[in-house]
Amino acid sequence: MSSDMQDAFATRKQVEDEIAMHTQAIIDLRGRLNTMTSIARLPPELFSEVFLHVVRDSYADMSSNYPAYDAARFYTWIKVSHVCRSWRAVALGTPRLWGHILLTKRPVVENILARSKKAPLLVRVHIMSPTDERAHLLENVLQDFSRLQELRVSGPARLLQELCPKITGSASKLETLVLADNALYGQTYAQTVGDTALPPTLLEGQLPLLRSLEIRRLVFNWRNPVLSSTLTHLALTGRLDSQSMLGSFDQLLATLETMARLEFLEIEDAIPRLPAETVTLPTPGRKVALPRLRRIALTGQCLDCANLAQHLSLSPATRAVLVGRGSNSSRELIRIAGELVARHKPLLTARISSTYNAQLHLRGWRTVVDPNAAPEPCIELRIDALSYPTLASHLVHDTKVLAQVRTLEIASQYADWRWKVVFAGMPKLRTLSMSYDPGEEFLTALSKVFRGKKGRPPSMILPDLRVVKFAQTRMCSVDYEKDEEGLDFLDRLEDWLIMRCNYNLPIDELRLAACTNFTEDDMDRLVGLVPKLDWDGMVEFDSDGEGDEDEDDEDEYDDPYFDDLVDYDYDYDFDGGYDGGYFGFY
């Protein structure tokens, strides 16, 4: 190389060094300028706590069952360490931040584990198959088992069964443990019971701080020592083909008796069955007191759910969800639900609806509330394969569970109700909401007149009724759908409102929402019969009973959710350090 070229390279190198020096000087000056802002005066300890809240919120929102792009979203919290050098120093100097781990790729996990130092670990992982890289990463994480504060694992049942023996050693910090089979329903039950059985001595006697335990779609026994007396949250989902491995019903009660700290209890398909020939519940020999329990959810065959519920002594603050399958012995479950309500304050608000997997869904509150905007109900009852006439006779008439109800909402497309029985069981009803078409007998039942006794004038049923709401109800019908008297629903509604006025029991408020075959002219017919009329103004005709179809049904599918997705790269923070970029600060 000639001397001229050497001189040129040397000169260029000198200029580049000066540029780097001045660039660093500018960065330093901007950093000093940032220290003059109000936020920069906050102590690093406060920044550390704020960052920790960001990470905790992101971790809490994540579900181990979500696909990989949501894992990428989780690690976007690392952006807080890219705002400026001082913030990055705080983040790297707070090992607790890096203790929140969602297993993704090996470089990511290895870097985060290194930054977490000796901080407690909270780990989530969703494993798709035994060959999934995350299965091997989990084994590496379990080598630091003594640091685990939370472990949530979702994967194939056989893999979880093989993993359990590796969960050994002292779990002195473990507070939350979740093991869930993530196979689809058909795949789960294609496996043998042995493929999904947990070891009978999982973590025996080494769980001093365990508070939350969830076992989903895995086989277990009620004697398993992992069912610790320290638990405050317990959720168990069994398998219908593993009932023989659960143990006895007395073992279940004995285990629950040790859990005086329980605040949340969920049991699905994990209640030892009564003998097949059992029709009525046996008298409970003892009751298990759970004084701290705030919510209980039982799912299974009607008779088994009712059997466990009747053996529990619950406080008035406990919110109960009972989900019974099958029509056999549904009456017993309804009776037990009524007894649970009767032990404390009566229901004042109720909502009855049909759901996708249940023909009966009752929700009840002990205060007068709007069912659509109310908090979680105090009682929730769902039963499959139960006809609504049975609901009317058992739930309303036999249990008297709705005798004090002031507000009732019914959302059901089934019109086969015994309306006279329903309304006779709710004499104090003030607000009635009805969605869909209630059938011809609905207004007939509301028009029932009682003869006066001891010189009193006759009166109508539901004397306290003042507010009535209809939603998605067909008000007028085509000629061939009218009853024998040539009347449709609107005609009968008008006659009923006049009748209420004649008996000095007028309806104060009538609300109509999304009702079909109803126009402004029809609205004029009701003016003067009700002081307050509330109509949404929607005019929609459905004369053929099948509804109007959208003529343009070939529009291209468009989902704005996927349009807004950002394909974050959760490896970007681990590829060679910080490059001096900034988001507003240095």
Concatenated DSSP letters of 301-359: EHHHHHHHHHTEE--TT-EEEEEEESSTTHHHHHHHHHHHHHTSSPPSEEEEE--SS-S
CA distance 326 to 453: 44
CA distance 225 to 180: 18
CB 55 within 8 A of CB 67: no
Q: Is 150 helix (H, G, I), strand (E, B) or coil?
A: strand
CB 111 within 8 A of CB 574: yes
Instruction: Provide the token pair at 325.
Output: 């399958």
CB 348 within 8 A of CB 374: no
Class of residue 135 by CB neighbours under 10 A (exposed 0-12, middle 13-18, buried 19+): buried
CA distance 223 to 255: 7
CA distance 460 to 473: 24
Residue 17 to residues 4, 12, 24, Cα–Cα distance (Å): 20, 9, 11
Question: Taking CA 440 as the corner, what is the angle to CA 435 and CA 445, rounded to the nearest 5 degrees?
Answer: 90
Residue 186: the pLDDT is 43
CB 149 within 8 A of CB 119: no
Instruction: Provide the token pair at 173.
Output: 């910090």
For residue 181, give the amino acid letter.
D
DSSP 8-state class, residue 530: B
Residue 176 to residues 123, 219, 397, Cα–Cα distance (Å): 10, 19, 44
Give long-range contacts, CB 8 A cutoff, 24+ apart: 224-232. 224/198, 224/200, 225/201, 226/177, 226/198, 226/202, 227/255, 227/259, 229/258, 229/259, 229/260, 229/261, 230/261, 231/259, 231/261, 231/262, 232/261, 232/262, 232/263, 232/264, 232/292
Q: End-to-end distance of the chain based on CA atoms, in angstroms? A: 42
Q: H-helix or E-strand containing 513?
A: strand 509-513
**What phi and psi, each to the nearest 5 degrees, are found at residue 94?**
-120, 90
For residue 559, give the amino acid letter.
D
**Local confidence pLDDT in tens for the 586 residues of the chain:** 677 777 788 888 888 888 988 888 887 777 777 666 666 667 778 888 888 888 888 887 775 445 444 566 777 788 888 877 778 888 888 899 888 888 888 888 888 888 988 899 998 888 888 788 888 888 888 887 888 899 998 888 888 877 777 776 677 889 999 988 876 544 444 455 555 677 666 666 577 889 999 999 888 889 888 888 999 999 999 888 777 788 899 999 999 999 999 999 999 999 999 888 888 888 888 999 999 999 999 999 989 999 999 999 998 889 999 998 876 678 888 889 988 888 888 999 999 887 655 577 899 999 999 988 878 899 999 887 655 566 666 777 777 888 999 999 998 877 667 888 888 889 999 999 999 888 888 999 999 998 877 778 888 999 999 999 999 999 987 654 555 566 889 999 999 999 999 999 999 999 999 999 999 999 999 998 999 999 999 888 875 544 444 444 444 334 343 333 333 333 334 333 333 333 333 2
Instruction: Provide the token pair at 196.
Output: 């999904």
H helix count then E strand count, the chain: 17, 21
How many CA atoms, within 13 angstroms, populate the side-chain half-sphere of residue 55?
A: 23
For residue 128, give the amino acid letter.
M
379: which strand partners? 320, 364
Q: Which stretches of 198-313 are assigned E, i.e. beta strand? A: 212-216, 233-237, 264-268, 288-289, 295-301, 312-313
CB 350 within 8 A of CB 364: yes
How many CA atoms, within 13 angstroms, populate the side-chain half-sphere of residue 135?
A: 16
CA distance 31 to 22: 14
CB 306 within 8 A of CB 356: no
Instruction: Provide the token pair at 466.
Output: 């003042």
Residue 584: the pLDDT is 33
CB 153 within 8 A of CB 176: no
β-bridge pairing 379-383 and 360-365: antiparallel
CB 321 within 8 A of CB 297: yes
Q: Which residues contact 586 (CB under 8 A, 6 or more apart)?
A: 27, 30, 31, 33, 34, 84, 85
Instruction: Provide the token pair at 334.
Output: 């309804």
CA distance 196 to 159: 9
Q: Cα Rg for the chain, rounded, in angstroms? A: 32
Residue 108: the pLDDT is 84
Q: Which of 181, 201, 205 has the alpha carbon at shortest distance from 192?
A: 181
CA distance 384 to 364: 18
CA distance 276 to 326: 13
Instruction: Provide the token pair at 130.
Output: 């035994």
Flag whether the pTM goes above 0.75: yes
Class of residue 552 by CB neighbours under 10 A (exposed 0-12, middle 13-18, buried 19+): exposed
Class of residue 401 by CB neighbours under 10 A (exposed 0-12, middle 13-18, buried 19+): buried
CB 379 within 8 A of CB 341: yes
CB 59 within 8 A of CB 51: no
